[in-house]
Amino acid sequence: MLADIANLFHGFAVVLQPSNILLMIIGILLGVIVGVLPGLGGANGIAILLPLTFSMTPTGAIIMLSCIYWGALFGGAITSVLFNIPGEPWSVATTFDGYPMAQQGRAGEALTAAFTSSFVGALFAVIVITLVAPLVAEFALEFGPAEKFSVYFLAFCSFIGMGKEPPFKTVASMMIGFALAAVGLDSVTGQLRLTFGFTDLLNGFDFLIAVIGLFGIGEILLTMEEGLAFKGKAAGINPKVVWQTWKELPRYWMVSLRSCLIGCWMGISPAGATPASFMSYGIAQRISKRGHNFGNGEIEGVVAPETAAHAAGTSALLPMLALGVPGSPTAAVLLGGLLIWGLQPGPLLFVEQPDFVWGLIASMYLGNLVGLILVLTCVPLFAAILRIPFSIIAPVILVICAIGAYTVHNSSFDVILMLIFGIVGYFMKKTGYPLAPMVLAIVLGDKAEEAFRQSLLASSGHLSVFFSNGLVSTIMVLGLVALFWGVISDLWAKLRKPAKAAA
């Protein structure tokens, strides 16, 4: 523990370098802009801006990208409260009480509560990462190919069984991702697979091209069809309102603590920030003495979802750092960025790259504090972005996406692929198929396949290798439980009904 504390202080020394502080501020500002623009989101913003970081050091790049994520988490609340437009999926629950508060002339109170709750949730999750990640990483050093596959299996099953989307659609999306991950050179046999004679596909589909297309272009096409119009509205925060709101917020410490625990669990599981925000809001409404007034401008209805969403969004980085398994679409994009920079997320990262890991964790502390200060002072500026017509915003985003895709390999073929993925993403969103499982499968599909095949080679083809010891058996069983969690929950509910009736 003392060694971890020393490493954390060393991480602060790395982050407090002037260049890294500047990257942190730039990242947060860009992230808030991404959060304010409906439909972009943290994963989209990071995917679009990732090519800009290729010339940076890995530590500086990840600090900037993670701060884009923190900024996006903050920015989603601005449009939710002021315009009833959730900038992020997890901000939908914030509109239930945040927008009515703004309509009642309490926009400053709602925004202060949202930003402060976001900071508290993220800080709680970062403390959890600081304390738990080294232990998880040290434990994971015992992992062989079978154990690694079991962790990937658990991640895939969690998305299927514990996600909010229909399991069939999640599996279908994941299968497409697995198929795309299999394109190119087979790492075990050296044979070409699914290239269909295209030399550009020898190295497979670059996950960055896929993500830019699926998220960036897909969202633009969807928004164009919906004909979304931005309408400006003046907004500011009075310092007196901030202090008055801060004096009131300690009354809701139990709501914050409960939301932090819900968010961390949902972020690590990995269910994600969106279900965490809805679950926290629903539980708060059920337990609160003023639950009957939720939806009419209750500050508690803003505190609960914002705290849970930020705790979930931040804690999703724990499995990525310690195990190499992302807990959210944004973490999956960051995972791809680490691989591009030659860093292998997982337990060895804490041993081989301590400066990087602890610099990132330290940047989480400082990034959230800087983000809170910036959003409290710059709300009018960010709200003014919504006055820009979508006819101007959309082409700018399209150009940024095209430049980002081209700079990956300096290939125009990648721009074509990006457009194709954009059309695929558009149709998947229209038909209700989730993109997150597909992104997860593209990023981890080849690694899961490699671990699976190595395990079978070592065991002469016997599947019993995945239940050969207590560790791998436990993880595989957890994966199966997660996969069939919906069925288990239904059976448990049916078994409890007769017991309730008898009582």
74-105 CB burial, b ≥16 within 10 A, e <16? bbbbbbbbbbebbbbbbbbbbbbbbbbbbeee
0.85 exceeded by pTM: no
pLDDT in tens, 54-96: 777 777 887 888 788 778 777 777 767 776 666 566 676 787 7
For the chain, the first-to-last Cα distance in angstroms comes to 49
Rg for the chain (alpha carbons), in Å? 22
Give the other-Cβ count within 10 Å of 217's Cβ.
Answer: 25
- The list of the chain residues with pLDDT below 70 reads 1-4, 36-44, 79, 83-90, 92, 136-143, 162-164, 188, 207-208, 215-216, 226-238, 269-272, 274, 291, 325-329, 347, 379-390, 393, 400, 404, 407-408, 499-503
Question: What amino acid occupies position 208?
Answer: L
Check if the beta carbon of residue 408 is closer than 8 Å to that of residue 51: yes
pLDDT at res. 232: 45
